[in-house]
Amino acid sequence: MNAEFWQARWGEGRIGFHKSEVNPLLLKYFTALKLKKGSRILVPLSGKSLDMTWLAQQGYEVVGIELVESAVQAFFAEQNISPTVHQHADNSAIKYYQGKLANQTITLWVADIFALTADDIGHIDAVYDRAALIAMPADMRPKYSEQIRQMSANATQLLITLYYDQNQKNGPPFSVSREQVQQYYSNDYHITELENNASTLNANASLSVTEHVWLLSDPRINQREAL
């Protein structure tokens, strides 16, 4: 990850990717994950997203990973939570903030996502990826998708991507095609497209963008349900 780039974006307040409301696609499709209350949900590149607040209010534990510490601090401050801060046992450059919201634990790691392991973050029941895959340039996405798979032990994912003419705009957010989603995930997941809809990027109203919602599930689960 390009730490300097993201530190600058947050430091300068250029965080147009942060939304002041819960993502409506999360509200619409969350039940597709079929989670029990109390399940642990991984939110990669979490920023200070209000989606995490909503997840906790619905009765789920949240594990976020964010490169920029000020974003993590802002999340807890804006939610009026006084977190405890813990240092990683083996890596002094990594820490995590932890607090309670609606009686659910929210744990936000301050780390490069590639520096963490499944042992660090603990058991994960599902992944909610609204902003991580599309923040990665193409050459990093295969490594990222494999990292998430390993960290979550192939947990079901709700993935949101954007598709547009990359020649008309530089990312992030980057354009990710259907073919690329297949390339990154088809070896390990059953892929279902739940929705695609046309929209525009706020910074460029003339740029046609299609937003896609994907459900990535363990193919072994699908085989069992078909029996």
What pLDDT is attached to residue 171? 84
- Shared domain check, 92 and 160: no
Domain extent for 206: 132-227
Calpha distance 86→55 (Å, rounded): 23
The length of the chain is 227
User: Which token pair is 15?
Assistant: 């965080």
Q: Is the pTM of this model over 0.85?
A: yes
Domain boundary among 100, 124, 148: 124
Beta bridge partners of 214: 159, 193
- Shared domain check, 152 and 96: no
Whole-number Cα distances in Å, 116 to 30, 150, 155, 218: 26, 10, 16, 22
What pLDDT is attached to residue 227? 35
Calpha distance 46→68 (Å, rounded): 10
CATH assignment at residue 151:
3.40.50.150
Residue 150 lies in a domain: yes
Could you tell me whether strands 190-201 and 204-217 are parallel, antiparallel, or unpaired per DSSP bridges?
antiparallel
DSSP label at residue 36: P
What pLDDT is attached to residue 224? 45
Calpha distance 213→227 (Å, rounded): 27
- Shared domain check, 206 and 175: yes
Burial call 66-90: b when 16+ CB within 10 Å, e when fewer: bbbbebbbbbbeebebebeeeebee
pLDDT per position in the chain (227 positions), as tens?
A: 666 766 666 565 555 555 679 999 999 999 999 999 999 999 999 999 999 999 999 999 999 999 999 999 999 999 999 999 999 989 988 999 999 999 999 999 999 999 999 999 999 999 999 999 999 999 999 999 999 999 999 999 999 999 999 998 888 899 999 999 999 999 999 999 999 998 755 555 678 899 999 999 988 765 444 43
What pLDDT is attached to residue 18? 53
Residue 2 lies in a domain: no
Domain boundary among 93, 124, 155: 124
Calpha distance 227→224 (Å, rounded): 5
